[in-house]
């Protein structure tokens, strides 16, 4: 089994986690959560999005949020954008990196952007050029890479057509996203193994939702395929507003715990990450899909029952 010494986790809770919540947090509170994530050791954080405020009102104040974030650290901050206006807002806010998103599914792309994928990719060209002219880094994500709620299975051929256009534009970092939690480990391994072999110059990221409790298995399958960069969301929040059934992302603290149980370093303080998850749960006011909140760490269980453990060992 291919077990790396370390993987990188991007905390996407401030964007993907909060975008679909009924309760809208203040800019001060969102910035506080980001600062807590930094304190916990996350070195890649998606701080929000620069989309039209009417489309995602929960993230309308991303400029204000980022202004309040502690930047005296070595953190890769990024924000989601969908058009040139988003790039301009990112530049004005001082956000150093933007992420463009297109769907492998025509139906989902029409639902999300009111455009077909080819039109969205055409917009990428202008966004990429303007971002690079202003010294911004640019990455891309391909939504519904592992299935679409409208169209069903997504072939590697559909994905590859988009990869070729993204690479042609000049982007060298791409995420394959399981937008509605339809992926399975075999599919994950096969698709990531293929793109890793065909496009080794690309930095590959994985974005899994835990809609059907498959995210951890899919993460391990991606690792076996050679992917070591993953998105996750504090307390397991998340979901696409334009995809039916797109419940939460894989929980950041659950992912950290699982990886570290396998002796894979994440550089993240698990206890602080769990504290952040509890804080988020209390702020939004409802139960979440975090197993660390529900069950705690393996070490907690052992420490709570030392006598029983000794008796078993004897």
What number of CA atoms fall less than 13 Å from residue 230's CA on the CB side? 28
3-state secondary structure labels for all residues of the chain: CCCCCECEEEECHHHHHCCCCCCCCCHHHHHHHHHHHHHHCCCEEEEEEECCCCCCHHHCCHHHHHHCCCCCCCCEEEEEECCHHHHHHHHHHCCCEEEEEEECCHHHHHHHHCCCHHHHHHHHHHHHHHHHHCCCEEEEEEECCCCECCCECCCHHHHHHHHHHHHHHCCCEEEEEECCCCCCHHHHHHHHHHHHHHCCCCEEEEEEECCCCCHHHHHHHHHHCCCCEEEEEHHHCCCCCCCCCCCCECEHHHHHHHHHHCCCECCCCHHHHHHHHHHHHHHHCCCCCCHHHHHCCHHHHHHHCHHHHHHHHC
Sign of the four-CA dihedral 113, 119, 120, 123: negative
The catalytic residue among 10, 127, 148, 240 is: 240
Catalytic residue check, 148: no
What are the catalytic residues? 240
């Amino acid at each position: 089994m291919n077990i790396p010494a370390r993987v990188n986790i991007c905390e996407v809770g401030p964007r993907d986690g909060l975008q679909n919540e009924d309760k809208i947090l203040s800019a001060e509170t969102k910035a506080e959560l980001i600062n807590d994530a930094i304190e916990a050791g996350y070195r890649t954080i998606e701080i929000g999005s620069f989309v039209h405020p009417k489309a995602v009102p929960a993230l309308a104040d991303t400029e204000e949020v980022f202004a309040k974030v502690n930047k005296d650290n070595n953190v890769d901050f990024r924000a989601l954008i969908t058009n040139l206006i988003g790039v301009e807002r990112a530049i004005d806010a001082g956000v150093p990196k933007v992420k463009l998103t297109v769907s492998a599914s025509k139906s989902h792309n029409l639902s999300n952007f009111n455009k077909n994928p080819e039109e969205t990719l055409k917009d990428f060209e202008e966004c990429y050029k303007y971002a690079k002219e202003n010294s911004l880094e640019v990455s891309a994500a391909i939504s519904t890479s592992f299935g679409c709620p409208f169209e069903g299975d997504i072939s590697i051929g559909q994905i590859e057509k988009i990869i070729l256009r993204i690479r042609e534009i000049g982007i060298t970092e791409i995420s394959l996203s399981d937008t509605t939690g339809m992926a399975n480990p075999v599919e994950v391994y096969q698709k990531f193994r293929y793109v890793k072999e065909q496009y080794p110059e690309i930095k590959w990221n994985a974005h899994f939702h835990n809609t059907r409790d498959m995210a951890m298995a899919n993460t391990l399958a991606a690792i076996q395929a050679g992917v070591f960069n993953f998105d996750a969301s504090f307390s397991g929040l998340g979901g696409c507003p334009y995809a039916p059934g797109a419940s939460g992302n894989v929980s950041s603290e659950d992912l950290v715990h699982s990886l570290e149980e396998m002796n894979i370093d994440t550089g993240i303080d698990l206890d602080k990450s769990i504290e952040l998850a509890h804080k988020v749960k209390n702020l939004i006011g409802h139960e979440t899909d975090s197993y660390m909140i529900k069950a705690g760490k393996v070490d907690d269980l052992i420490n709570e029952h030392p006598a029983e453990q000794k008796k078993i060992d004897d």
